[in-house]
Structures are given as C-alpha cells and as structure tokens.
Amino acid sequence: MNNGVLEGFKKDFSVIKEKGWVESHRKHDTGIGKTFEDLIGIVENNNYLADYQGILELKASRILSESMVTLFTKAPQPRGINSLMREKYGNPDPKADGLKTIHTTFSALKFNNFVKNYGFKLEINESERRIYILVKNLKTGEIEDTDIYYEFDTLKTIIENKCKYIAHINAESKKLDGKEYFRFKECYLLTGLTFEKFIQLIKEGLILYDIRIGVFRSGKNKGKTHDHGSGFRFKKNNLEEIFDFEKI
C-alpha cells in the first residue's frame, strides 16, 4: 500500500481517537460505521472504490459486539431479483404491517431454516463462474427454479478494489438518555484476501451470506422492496483465518 495513504489515515484516526466519546450519527447497528465515516470525511457510496482515498476500506465495530462484520454488500443478479425473492419467499413481518421481508444468514455448507418454510444455501459453480443462492422448499424438499447468482468477475473486481486493504476499527459504546455514544480505541490493518481465498473460505463456511431484504413502511415507496445491505459477512472470531493483520 502507498505509505502516504497509510500515514494519512493514521493521523486522521489519531485525531478521531482523541475526541473521546462522540454521539452516534445514526440509529441502529449501522450507526458506528456512519459515525466514523462522517468524522473522517467519507461520503457514503456504493461504488467499487475503497472508502479512504480509493485504497483503504473502512470497517468499524463495537468491541464487545458478537455481530458479524460485513465484507461487502452487493445485490445479486439478475436485476430485480431481490423483489422477487421477497415476494416469493418472504415472511409477513408484523413490524412492517404484515408485508413480507427476508432476514436470514446461511453458508455453502448446508441449507438453513428460514421460518420453517424455506432453506437457503450458497453453491459455487466453477464451470459457470458463478455463486448461486439456492432455495429449497422445506415442506416438499424441492429446490426452487429461480436463478439467483453472482458472477465471479463482479466479485473479483469488488475484492481487488475494496478488500485488498481494510482498516478494522474497534470502538467502545455506551447508551445515555436513549442515545448511543462511541469512543474509537484501536485499529488493525487487514490484508491478504484474494479472490481465490474468498472462494475457498466460502467453501469452508467461514464467509457467510446475509439476506437483509426489507420493505418501505411509509411514504410514496410504501410496500416496495428495500435492500438493507444483503452481502457477504464473517464472524469476528474467524478474522485471523481470513486475513493477515497488524495493529496500526
């Protein structure tokens, strides 16, 4: 990595660290990442470039949290398949006026169990150069015929641009008067993830897939599909098996 980029990040992180406790800039779990990005001057984006100067991707998490770390988010193909999945396989959500949603996590090792109706599983097809999301009807045992997939080339581009150098920031968190506050404490540089290793880690069940397909609850888009960040994730306790890392 360009030493200038790393040194620039170290200085920026030091300034944020010295701020001490700061109020979250957003409610819910994504508040920690949003807060750090705002403090360091990053504008949210969905492109293939890394967050910091197009080279260093930023990941922030609560020190004591057991939640998974997002490697990257990306809607599967073909276009519009998230809406089809929600309508066909979703479960009525009482928090969304009974409209269907899907929130479930699964691997390439076996089908999971989504509200006892459907099972989801990743399948790597080397000859077609695709990763498929398979859906099984748990009542009939039949595999549904919907094609839901990621192209190898698309994933390779994302990994080479957004996952080559990752700054993983840990922060303490606390609640005060109904608001969450963060104190950013330490940071690690994660490296060593290649596309080939990514595929192998999926096969081993160390990289998981998370569907987070919701629905707009109000406004002009009420009832329409809202992707809350479906994508590839990993458990924090598997970090050392996925990356080389050093404290920065």
Say how far apart CA 89 and CA 117 lie, in whole Å. Answer: 8
pLDDT digits (tens, 9 = 90+) for 12-67: 999 999 999 999 998 877 789 999 999 999 877 667 789 999 999 999 999 877 77
Q: Round the CA-based radius of gyration of the chain to a whole number and report it.
A: 19
CATH number at residue 208: 3.30.70.3570
Written as six digits, the tokens of 59 are 């990941």
Write b or e for each residue in 175-193: b if 16 or more Cβ atoms lie within 10 A of its Cβ, otherwise e: eeeeebbbebeebbbbeeb
Q: Is the pTM of this model over 0.85?
A: yes
What distance lies between CA 65 and its chain's CA centroid?
Answer: 15
pLDDT digits (tens, 9 = 90+) for 180-217: 999 999 999 999 999 999 999 999 999 999 999 999 88
Written as six digits, the tokens of 124 are 């790597």
**Which domain range does residue 82 map to?**
3-247
Question: Number of structural domains, the chain?
Answer: 1
H runs (alpha helix) in the chain = 3-18, 31-40, 81-89, 152-162, 195-203, 239-242
